[in-house]
Amino acid sequence: MSALRLPSVVAGKTLTEVISMRVNGKPCRTIWPLSDAAVAVIDQRCLPHQFKTVELTNVAEAAAAIENMTVRGAPLIGATAAYGMALAMRADCSDAAVASAADLLQQTRPTAVNLLWALSRMRSRLLALPSSERLQAAWQEAAALCEEDVALNEKIGQQGLALIEACYQKTGRTVNVLTHCNAGWLGTVDWGTALAPIYQAADAGIPVHVWVDETRPRNQGASLSCWELGQHGVAHTLLPDNAGGHLMQHGQVDMVIVGCDRTARNGDVCNKIGTYLKALAAHDNSVPFYVALPSPTIDWQITDGVKDIPIEQRSADEVLTVTGLLAGEESKLATVQIAPAETAAANYGFDVTPARLVTALITERGICDASEAGLLSLFPEQAHE
Amino acid sequence: MSALRLPSVVAGKTLTEVISMRVNGKPCRTIWPLSDAAVAVIDQRCLPHQFKTVELTNVAEAAAAIENMTVRGAPLIGATAAYGMALAMRADCSDAAVASAADLLQQTRPTAVNLLWALSRMRSRLLALPSSERLQAAWQEAAALCEEDVALNEKIGQQGLALIEACYQKTGRTVNVLTHCNAGWLGTVDWGTALAPIYQAADAGIPVHVWVDETRPRNQGASLSCWELGQHGVAHTLLPDNAGGHLMQHGQVDMVIVGCDRTARNGDVCNKIGTYLKALAAHDNSVPFYVALPSPTIDWQITDGVKDIPIEQRSADEVLTVTGLLAGEESKLATVQIAPAETAAANYGFDVTPARLVTALITERGICDASEAGLLSLFPEQAHE
């Protein structure tokens, strides 16, 4: 892996203290600035088979990295967009440049609301300053947004840890958590959302085992969640997306924890396609279904998530083919076609789980009902005036 | 493709009249005898990329073909087992040979009850005869069982056609049917179970479109259902297994029709892993959920399917890898690994959908409630005395 080019001491703490996640035992984040001239990210398209980092040097490269899923996960998309704005300021600090960079970044992916939130925050901050101060302010703001993401996720981890701990106290045996897609460290700057409670439970010595949904068509569970759980030493088992209902029917799942790309004001949660099916199975088997989300994932403007959250449609090729390590070859990636040539395929990136199926939302401020009242109990500043 | 070595005229009808399904426009079944010396089957592991037939010449080869999924699908497993008994009789017609052949075949796969049904029928038929008559009787009985399978499936098709037709009459637009796995022609001797109504609807000129679940981990939807629907010219779109709930939420599915590997006396249905999740989504969105099954699929002895139907567990390799046509190569198959090396994976072959989620069962005798009363209304001879 590339060495991290972060300062070795941050706010009086060493990197090992500041960064929770490890790659081959070394502290690592998913995004970090390189001397205010570029931003480094992990190319998540190559995992788990190859660990590569990519340098983004301008706003177009940042937009492409979001669009082509070099980076993914709602919080990390927001962080990358923020740094994309900083990269844009290197070329041009005018009002027009702020607007066009935000537009370019906004068009990359439609579903995760953190993207809109991060761009809105960067735009407001920059337009309030004279153009001569925007370059430095943009880098500072992007860095601040990333630090806040880490802090929010750490708090989500603490909140969720209490749920896992309570389950362990009750059963006295390994806690089995099912998760869908990757809402781990790799989808954020550090810690993750759905996986943060799991990492904290493991760190606290609670025996925890994760059922990892493969998450077709892009296999983020198989490729990313399995990889980062393995790096952290957390016990886990990969499952076809089809299997979770059967496991819940037979008492093999204690709780489901998933992440979220956009939470509506009414508590409906939009997450990776297939989440809704797991929520139905959890509900049918009285398995608690938790959604972990930092508050920038909440869209306070949308009051009916099922109806109004825009669902990204992606290329049919993601469904028609699978990429992986070629059997028998040390490090060669290959793509195989799994259906007859000329087969049509549909590829919806996300679905929306109605609030009625969600046991609770885990936020940085606490755990609440998946409802407007529940959310407002933690975020009273969002009440309509 | 290999030429079919069936007689060109059966019972006064030409092959084209007798066989409903086509491969490259030519009539074809999934299994056929070769002069009472061998049995030919399609090697379904090579589809959709290669059409190959395999000759089975002894009972061990028949058992291996079932176990390694050269043939699959509950009715076709039963048909192959019946011919496996006939192949066994070529070597030895003793009582001991009948028993040991049946034992060998029975151990191949645990979930589909048609296997037990076919073996029980063959065993009873053969043991009732002097050993000198068993060889000829075995071939006749296996052929009869296959003909009955075709007739049962054709009737299932007619029953299900009425449901599709009623939907078309009501909406006046293309009927969208979602199916899981492959319960088509390839899973039976001809016609299929879940797909039989769809073929009959298409043949009757009703506009029908099929949403085909990919069906990980073995991708029977992507590889087999897409292929046979394409051969029959039926419009279809491949979906990740994760997508069906979203489509149902948004009114894009008129009904679900799936097949079945074992139906319990109480109407619980065991089918390919993931079926239960689609039944939950159908129920949550008031989409009719139908299960098509010939009566040999009913296990009258099991009164609680969720609790008592044995669920096959298969190799983790099926989850950890995907096989398909290597991109950029004309006809080279390759296998890719999708998770980190050393990842553990669970692979349950089937799940059980509780009867409460099933709108109706489609059998050769008619459509009934998924309940003991419903089943007994069509099969009164199974009432306890």
Residues A107 and A180 in one domain: no
Q: What is the pLDDT of residues A348-362, one digit of tens each?
A: 999 999 999 999 999
Residues B78 and B199 in one domain: no
Q: Which of A236, A242, A284 sits opposite B216 (nearest CB)?
A: A242
Written as six digits, the tokens of A354 are: 């109605």
Q: What is the pairing mode between strands B298-299 and B262-264?
A: parallel
Q: Å from B105 to nearest chain A CA?
A: 27
Residues of chain A with Cβ-Cβ distance to B337 below 8 Å are 49, 324-325, 327
Pair A309, A302: CB distance under 8 Å: yes
Residues of chain A with Cβ-Cβ distance to B214 below 8 Å are 216, 319, 338
CB half-sphere exposure, A293, CA atoms < 13 A: 30
Residues A162 and A135 in one domain: no
Contact B346 A217 (CB under 8 A): no
Q: Å from A31 to nearest chain B CA?
A: 22
Chain A contact for B335 (CB, 8 A cutoff): yes
pLDDT of residue A15 exceeding 80, the answer is: no
ipTM: 0.94
Q: Where in the sequence is the domain holding A309, given as residue range(s)?
A: 157-382
Pair A341, B222: CB distance under 8 Å: no
In this predicted structure, what is the pLDDT of residue B25? 86
Q: Does residue B114 belong to any structural domain of this protein? A: yes
Average pLDDT over residues A103-129: 96
When divided into structural domains, chain A yields a total of 2
Nearest residue in A to B233, CA atom: A343
Residues A164 and A310 in one domain: yes
Residues 20-49 (B) with a CB less than 8 A from some CB of A: 48-49
The domain that holds B28 is classified in CATH as 1.20.120.420
CB half-sphere exposure, A83, CA atoms < 13 A: 31
Residue of higher predicted confidence among B50 and A330: B50
Residues 196-255 (B) with a CB less than 8 A from some CB of A: 211, 214-217, 219, 222-223, 226-227, 230, 236-247, 249
Q: Which of B149, B167, B189 is the last residue of a domain?
A: B149
Q: Å from A218 to nearest chain B CA?
A: 10
Mark whether B261 is an active-site residue. Answer: yes
Q: Does residue B276 belong to any structural domain of this protein? A: yes
Residues A86 and A195 in one domain: no
Across chain B, which has 385 residues, the per-10-residue mean pLDDT values are 42 66 88 91 95 96 97 97 98 98 97 94 98 97 97 98 98 98 97 98 98 98 97 97 98 98 98 98 98 97 96 97 88 93 97 98 98 98 84
Buried b / exposed e along B343-354 (16+ C-beta atoms within 10 A): bebbbbbbbbbb
Contact B277 A245 (CB under 8 A): yes
Q: Which of A149, A241, A261, A299 is catalytic?
A: A261
CB half-sphere exposure, A56, CA atoms < 13 A: 30
Residues 96-115 (A) with a CB less than 8 A from some CB of B: none
Q: Which of B107, B133, B149 is the last residue of a domain?
A: B149
Residues A75 and A161 in one domain: no
Q: Which residues, listed in sequence order, are joined to residue A261 by a DSSP beta bridge?
A: none
Residues A117 and A236 in one domain: no
Residue of B24, B247, B277 to mutate when probing chain A, most A C-beta within 10 A: B277
Question: Which are the contacts of A206, defined by CB distance < 8 A and separation ≥ 6?
Answer: A164, A165, A168, A175
Q: Hey, which of A4-8, A134-138, B5-9 has the most confident mean pLDDT? A: A134-138
Residues A44 and A165 in one domain: no
Q: Å from B243 to nearest chain A CA?
A: 6
Residues of chain B with Cβ-Cβ distance to A320 below 8 Å are 222, 238
Selection from B233, B225, B156, B230 nearest residue B186 by Cα: B225
Residues A195 and A286 in one domain: yes
Chain B contact for A276 (CB, 8 A cutoff): yes
In this predicted structure, what is the pLDDT of residue B1? 35
pLDDT of residue A226 exceeding 80, the answer is: yes
Residue of higher predicted confidence among A385 and B55: B55
Question: Which are the contacts of A38, defined by CB distance < 8 A and separation ≥ 6?
Answer: A55, A56, A57, A87
Q: Which of A96, A120, A149 is the last residue of a domain?
A: A149
Other C-beta atoms closer than 10 Å to the C-beta of A285 total 16
Residues B112 and B176 in one domain: no
Q: Å from A196 to nearest chain B CA?
A: 21
CA distances to A46, B48, B322 from A240, in Å: 21, 21, 12
Q: Which amino acid is at A321?
A: T
Selection from A93, A352, A338, A267 nearest residue B327 by Cα: A338
Residue of B24, B231, B238 to mutate when probing chain A, most A C-beta within 10 A: B238
In this predicted structure, what is the pLDDT of residue B328? 77
Pair A40, A6: CB distance under 8 Å: no
Question: Which are the contacts of A88, defined by CB distance < 8 A and separation ≥ 6?
Answer: A58, A59, A97, A98, A100, A101, A138
State the sign of the Cα–Cα–Cα–Cα dihedral A153, A158, A164, A168: positive
In this predicted structure, what is the pLDDT of residue B3? 39
The domain that holds A302 is classified in CATH as 3.40.50.10470
Q: Which of B213, B241, B254, B261 is catalytic?
A: B261
Q: Does residue A4 belong to any structural domain of this protein? A: no
- Residue showing tokens 């980190």: B340
Residues B122 and B180 in one domain: no
